[in-house]
Structure 1
Amino acid sequence: MTAIRRLATAITTALILCGTAQAHAGPSSNSIAGTWMNPHNTVAVHTGACGEKLCGWVVWASAEAQSDARDGGTARLVGTALLENYKPDGAGGWSGTVFVPDRGQRFYSEIEPVDANAMKLKGCILHGLICRSQVWRRIPETPRG
């Protein structure tokens, strides 16, 4: 193999590796991207990239969840961002802000992948002193109705 061919091969390999590393670093390729159902089966959220961060928007909500959100001051639940500005935490999880529509409040939050079809969503108050978590499950499609 000539020196030029070896150099071209090395550059191509480096570019492929850099592209792979960037693809794995971005939220859109993370295992958290997708559509998720809360444990009460009342809200479905689609997660994906929002700039350099990860966000999640309500794509379906039960009548009860919509009513609770209205009572909390959120007029239209479907389309609302529940997961806001999550950044990788370096340990495989994400940290950001979760919006709780029925309370009309935002809280510090962490997301931790459990497996390919489950993620643990944690919301905290008092700088993480008191936290509550739920395990959300991945769903193949948005519910109807």
Structure 2
Amino acid sequence: MSRSKLLLAMTAFFLSLFLSFGQVWAEGANDPTGIWLTQAGGAKIRVNHCGAGLCGTIVWLKVPIDPATGKPQIDDKNANPALAKRPVIGINIFKAMKSVTNNKWSGVIYNADDGKTYSSDVIVAGPRKLEVRGCVMGILCGGETWTKVGEVTLADATGGL
């Protein structure tokens, strides 16, 4: 093989390698899965694909034990009496969260702080940033930015107990 053909073959190889890594990075940049810390730092949510949509499960609370009862925090603000006794850790807060674009999902989010559900958008804003927005009646909207963090350990989940 001549030197020019070898150089051309090596250039083509490295270019294809570079482009494939770029594609992997781009796909990862729009991936909402993982553990996310809420903006206030009070909870960690595990986001994963479930069916054609997303699930978002509370896996950690900064204050896992209710100081008033000495027991795990429960969903006591939920208007449904059957759900108001369930532990907050383990609640799936995303409902019908379906892909709209390659970095945006729309559906409903449950807010355990007030026991209500809101129409919601989840947008991957970067490799470690997730924008979570909720609206009441489509006009009163708010949102926050979640930060991607590492896995939740048993010590994290139990508050070090």
3-state SS, counterpart of residue 93 of structure 2: strand
2:24 matched residue in structure 1: none
TM-score, length-scaled by structure 1: 0.71
- How far the C-alpha of 1:91 sits from its partner, in A, is 5.9
The two structures, once aligned, show a CA RMSD in angstroms of: 2.6
TM-score for both structures, normalised by structure 2:
0.65
Structure 2 gap ranges (5+): 1-26, 68-72, 79-83
Say which is worse superposed, 69-78 or 93-102, in terms of deviation: 69-78
Q: Deviations over 1:64-89 (max 9, x none)?
A: 79677544134310000112221111
| 1:71–1:102 CA contact under 8 A, matched in 2 | no
Q: Deviations over 1:90-127 (max 9, x none)?
A: 2631101100112111110001111000110001011x
Matched residue type, 2:89: V
Moved more, 40-49 or 60-69: 60-69
Q: Secondary structure at the match of 1:141?
A: coil
User: What is the letter of the counterpart of residue 119 of structure 1?
Assistant: L
Structure 2 CA distance for partners of 1:38 and 1:30, relative to 1, 3 Å = same
- Any idea what SS the aligned residue of 1:137 has? strand
Identity %: 22
Q: What do residues 18-73 of structure 1 show as CA deviations (whole Å, max 9, x unaligned)?
A: xxxxxx7xxxx951011100011110000111211111000011227967754413
**Aligned partners of 1:84 and 1:65: how far apart in 2?**
26
Cα 1:105–1:65, aligned 2, differ >3 Å: closer, same or farther? farther
1:132 is matched with 142
Q: Distance in 2 between matches of 1:125 and 1:58?
A: 22
Runs (4 or more) in structure 1 with deviation over 3 Å come to 64-71
Q: Whole-Å Cα distance in 2 between the matches of residues 53 and 79 of structure 1?
A: 18
C-alpha distance in 2 between matches for 1:31 and 1:66? 34
Unaligned runs of 5+ in 1: 1-23
Asked whether 1:43 is paired with 2:43, we answer yes
**Which residue in the other structure is 2:62 paired with?**
62
Work out the CA distance in 1 between the residues paired with 2:61 and 2:142: 21
Aligned to 1:111: 122
Q: Which has the larger radius of gyration?
A: 2
